[in-house]
Structure 1
Amino acid sequence: MILIDFIQASNGSGATIGDLVTATALPRSTVYRILNTLTSHALLIRSAKGSYTLGYRLVGLAASVTVEMSQEELHDAVHPHLERLAVETGETCKFSVLDGLKASVMDVVQGASAMSPTSRVGAKFDLHAGAASKLLLAFGGTKLFNDVMAQPRQRYTDRTLIDTSALSDELELIRAEQLSHDRGEWNDSVHAIAAPVFSASGLVAGAISVTYFASRDESAVEVKVREPLRTAAHQASLALGHYVRG
């Protein structure tokens, strides 16, 4: 896959064995063997000058892929990564998706810690408050933002953002960091961090979030869960067919 990815990045000009050895630091014999196998199955084409480009068999393979996923398929693709995240962090982890003007909880894995908040599948939340909710709003496009801003926005705690300008600034930060924080916007005692899960099309398919009680050291909890959360969201995105070179 590393070789195919590099050849794809050549934008049709192709890559030689030397290019691939230099780019990957793999042994020349290994590169040569892999290229021969891929070429024999028409996944790559070797030109008379010795450069390799993507083969036409990939077109047929791509055509057989179902782009639209059912809710069940989406759940099943993300769930193993949610489970691993809950085990690694000890906290309650959720996967939420956009449902109209609400964030809907599709999946929950309860944390093993005695100090883990509970949640339930099917719960729906307003998009202007909460880590997963704000993340879905941040990546939902201008129309969604305008529709949400046109609705009355309830202030659940002193930390709930209801001002349009302040919320817009928060969403811009979420898009830049690809992380969303809730430090008591729904409930003073429950905090959360969320990261986006991208689909094969590059759109956000949902948000994975880690929830925890606020009575503990906030910075220590964030440090503990931030990278495992990013990893889980990245792996879930890969499971949905999303891939960005580098």
Structure 2
Amino acid sequence: MSTEQPTEKPASVPKTGGGVQSLERAFAILETMADAGGVISLSQLAADAQLPLPTIHRLVRTLVDLGYVRQEASRQYSLGPRLIRLGETTSRMVGRWARPHMERLAHELGETINLAMLDGDQVVYVGQVMASRNSMRMFTEVGRRVLPHSTGVGKAIMANMDPSVVTAILARTGMPARTEHTLTDPAAFAAELGRTRERGYALDEGEQEIGVRCVAVAVLDTPQPLALSVSGPLPRMTDDFVERATGPLHAAATAISDEMRGSVG
């Protein structure tokens, strides 16, 4: 019987041209686990990360010892609790990275700009810039969590998601009505997401708060689903304003995406 060890395949992460291989592989493992929903078997992890089982076992053991991975009773492995603090801190940093682009957008449009992230089944607001020239301004507390079906940012994010994933989220949340305008029927919501994809932006027509209209676009190519929005009182958020706002919104969303991928600066 041969005792020859299997030849290692290249890790699934892109090479950085001078990085530490074990570090690259450790992050490949964490990202592979995240892609699998946070819980995965060792054999599946080895297959998905394209690394031999002995290598995976050694690296996972180290990550378990550090608290970044934990072993479940089922003998599968899950993302560990020490990642929570890193994730929460990074979420707060997203608003800081995006703020210059949001400030320019608020100055150009004269309305409140929000940045939101999908976190599990909820949308959490991670950044806001309020325009100074309007006496009546919209205020949404950074850190506030809402259900995605009743918001423009939620619709913008979900329009770019797999429909089966959207259906599962809606089933778990139950789609409660925030106002009389909130869409609470899954079929009607799916049709609205179709319109969102066709026109390239989402609308919140008083579905989260009566008298407030919001237009939102997705921030694409980011590790976590994000959306950028402009909101204001219905009398100011006319159809003409929405038409004027979508171009600058898309430009700011692209700039934020570039910022998060490190291609700015």
Q: CA deviation at 1:73?
A: 4.1
* CA displacement, residues 205-244 of structure 1 (integer Å, 9 cap, x when unaligned): 301100010023611221332211111111111222399x
Q: Is the 8 A contact 2:102 2:113 kept in 1?
A: yes
Q: CA deviation at 1:110?
A: 1.1
1:208 to 228, 235, 241: 228
| SS class of match (1:121) | coil
Q: 2:213·2:237 contact (CA, 8 Å) conserved in 1?
A: no
For normalisation by structure 2, the TM-score amounts to 0.61
Query: Does the C-alpha gap of structure 1 residues 241 and 205 become closer, same or farther in structure 2, counting only changes over 3 Å?
Result: same
Report the alpha carbon displacement of residue 61 of structure 1 after superposing the two structures with TM. Answer: 4.8
The question of whether the paired residues in 2 share the 8 Å contact of 1:199 and 1:242 is answered with no
Residue aligning to 1:189:
211
Asked if structure 1 preserves the Cα contact closer than 8 Å seen for 2:96 and 2:127, the reply is: no
Gaps of 5+ in 2: 1-13, 32-86
**Match in the other structure for 1:17:** none
Alpha-carbon displacement from aligned partner over 1:141-161 (angstroms, at most 9, x marks no partner): 322432323432222223211
For residues 63 and 198 of structure 1, do their structure 2 counterparts lie closer, same or farther at Cα, with a shift above 3 Å needed? farther
| Contact persistence 1:135–1:179 (CA under 8 A) | yes
- Per-residue CA deviation, residues 11-68 of structure 1 (Å, 9 max, x unaligned), is xxxxxxxxxxxxxxxxxxxxxxxxxxxxxxxxxxxxxxxxxxxxxxx95459699998
1:166-193 CA distances to partner (integer Å, 9 max, x unpaired)?
1011112223433111111112210100
Residues 1:155 and 2:177 aligned together: yes
CA apart distance, 1:194: 0.5
Residue pairs, 1:77-156, within 5 angstroms: 77-112=97-132, 113-141=134-162, 142-156=164-178
Percent of matched pairs sharing the same residue:
24
Indicate the residue corresponding to 1:198 in structure 2.
Answer: 220
> Alpha carbons of 1:145 and 1:204: their partners in 2 closer, same or farther (altered >3 Å)?
farther
- Could you tell me the TM-score, scaled by structure 1's length? 0.65
| Structure 2 contact 138–232 (Cα < 8 Å) conserved | yes
Alpha-carbon distance change, 211 to 176 in structure 1, aligned in 2, over 3 angstroms: same
Letter in 2 for 1:162: T
Deviation at 1:72, TM superposition (A): 4.0
- Contact 1:103/1:136, CA 8 A, preserved across alignment: no
- For the residues of structure 2 that align with 1:134 and 1:114, how far apart are their CA atoms? 28
Q: CA RMSD in A?
A: 2.8
Change (3 A) 1:60 1:91: same
- For the 8 Å contact 1:91–1:211, the answer to whether it is kept is yes
Q: 3-state DSSP class of the match of 2:207?
A: strand
Paired residues of 1:198 and 1:242 also in contact (CA < 8 A): no
For 1:128, what is the secondary structure of its paired residue?
helix
Inter-partner Cα distance in structure 1 for 2:204 and 2:18: 39
Does the 8 Å CA contact 1:95/1:209 hold for their aligned counterparts?
yes
Amino acid at match of 1:81: H
- How many positions carry a matched residue from both structures? 184
Answer 1 or 2: higher relative contact order, Cα 8 Å, separation at least 6. Answer: 1
Q: Distance between the aligned counterparts of 2:161 and 2:244, measured in 1?
A: 28
Partner AA of 2:152 in structure 1: A
- The answer as to whether partners of 1:159 and 1:183 remain within 8 angstroms in 2 is yes
> Structure 1: where are the runs of 5+ without partners?
1-57
Which of residues 175, 188, 196 in structure 2 aligns to 1:174?
196
Quote the Cα distance in structure 2 between the aligned partners of 1:71 and 1:218: 32
Distance 2:180 2:18 in 1: 50
Q: Which aligned pairs between 1:43-54 and structure 2 lie closer than 5 A?
A: none
